[in-house]
Structure 1
Amino acid sequence: MGIMTAEDVLRVLRDRCGEAMGEPLDIVVTRRDVRDEASFRGTGVLDLYAELFPASERDSPDDMLRWLLSDDVGEIRHFYVGDRAMSYRLDSRCFILRAAERAVGLAFFTYDHASDLIYCNHVGIGAAWRGRGLARAFYRAIVEMLDALFPRNIGVVLEVEPFDHDHLEVIIDDLERAGRRQLAANTQAEIRRLLRVSWYDGLDYSVFCGVQTMRPLVCRSPCLDPSLPSSQWAGGEENYWLMWRARTGAPIMETGAGKLWHKAVTAIYIEILAKSLVAADPDDRRGYWDYATALTAKTLRAASEVHLARCLGDDDRALLTRWRRLAIDLPI
């Protein structure tokens, strides 16, 4: 069977999910179908965004609108850091899954022209619409659309929060013994990390690992708020693993994984994050730029040999099986 087009996937999505819910489904895209602030807000996607993601993980609506409709529109943007001229070229799109013209799913992606990489920022489906394969069908339709929008792209990269296997084993041991079904917020967050990695693993993503440790490499993300005093930037840093999926139809190759790792880290933390934040904040451009580039360079120096591996090992899959047997409903 050949690769399904976005229209094929959407048709399957409608057949399997839309009729079952009694609602027609469609996908609209910013700057193609949704071209201004009023129409973007009118989809209800910002309400869905607030429902799906905690405040600590959300960008401000004003920033999203700026990126999607004016700043990251595929044009070269120029700025200065001191006397040094810089530029970047991004294209951000929000894909909105609608039922009866109201948002029930969203996905936010950014294409970096410098690296030909697509960065996946957020993907989510409303609680009432989860199940029946809707999330995977939505994601696959988006990937087909991205390939059409950006024919030079080489694949998608994303960040996931690291999970601690040993800690999760203790949590699941306790749940199995006690039979508890109410989970504390910190326990839910830890389990969701495993579930999120599992979801992307099911979409054929790989994770960047160190050859010597055989463990996922840790990226240290710079603080996302340059307006804070520089003494507080370190407190706003986060650790992530990077996951990768080659362009549709292309095999995942381990050869050149080190170069791909360097390209991915630079794209996310310099081209997409640091440059856009520095360009938007004229007050302390040099200070934040030096901080962000130094932190990124430290991440790159920490990995001498890199390879791509499946996201979950056998022990992780066994742990996931035990979690599923508990039959606790915990959306990711």
Structure 2
Amino acid sequence: MRHYSAKHIVRCLAVCCFLSLLFQINPQANAQTIEVTPPPPPPPVTQPEQAQPNVPQVGTIQWGSTSIIASEKRLSVWLQVKFLGNTTLNSFSYRTIEGSAGAGTDFTARDITVSVPANQGYTYIQIPLINSALVESKETFVVQLYGLTGFTLQGSANATVDIYERLYAMPQVRGVSARCDTAEDQNDNPLTAGFLGGALNNGSVCSSNFLNEVQGDSDYYRIYVDGSPVYEYLFNITMTNTTNPAAHNMDIFLYELVNGNYQTITNSLQPGQEPDTIAVSLKQGTTYFLRVLWGSSSASSAKPSYNIYTSISSPLNP
């Protein structure tokens, strides 16, 4: 056995201590290198988007028609104004401009501003007409759009109104019968009402009644005017009570179809059993409704019945 001296042992211990100290100072000196991927950079800081104000859309405005025919005897004329893309509260103005028709003698002057609610598609403006005692030919004035707020104009700003003393046509009423072109009780509903015939035959009669109905009900008849324009003629409608005994009051109303809606033209509200009569000029190519209203009743148990007489006359030769 080999013997080591104390000197050798001390030297070995010193080397071991040096190596141990070296590994403590750099523990990775004898380890594998591990690559660590750095984390991604944070996203850039952006300012929050500011709320954009609602920018109103500009709508368009235009006349429903730029050529209007009116009857002096109607006492007013209605003009349609159309809107497209109208999404906010807007406005427009209109004014009348004299032509051969004069303000104060043939029509009432107008200079008016109109507010238009959002999403409204159209409106009507009314110009009063003056019914003079003079016998006059056609007279004309203009209604002008201006002062638009939130609208751009499409088409002409001017609409021309032609006023005639009387309108419109020698009535030719559609209907295959000299009587009521509908059967009771189909005339109880305006949707199923037939045409009132007989205007081609002066003095023809439509006879009907309120059987199976109650007080407050109405009968309806359509009227459609064909023919060429012939002025100075009136369409006459007379309703007489034929109930025996005559113990009911009935009244008649005439409506005109305008843009899908019926507007009241005139009516006759004679009291008691007196005949009710309407004399009116009718428009060519226009549909009307005649309504007979069972207004009131007395002690009679009989349901009311009536006749409708239609005729054509000239105001110069009634």
TM-score bracket relative to the smaller structure: under 0.3
Q: Larger relative contact order (C-alpha < 8 A, sep ≥ 6)?
A: 1
More strand by share: 2
- Higher Cα Rg: structure 1 or 2? 2
More helix by share: 1
- TM-score, normalised by the number of residues in structure 2: 0.23
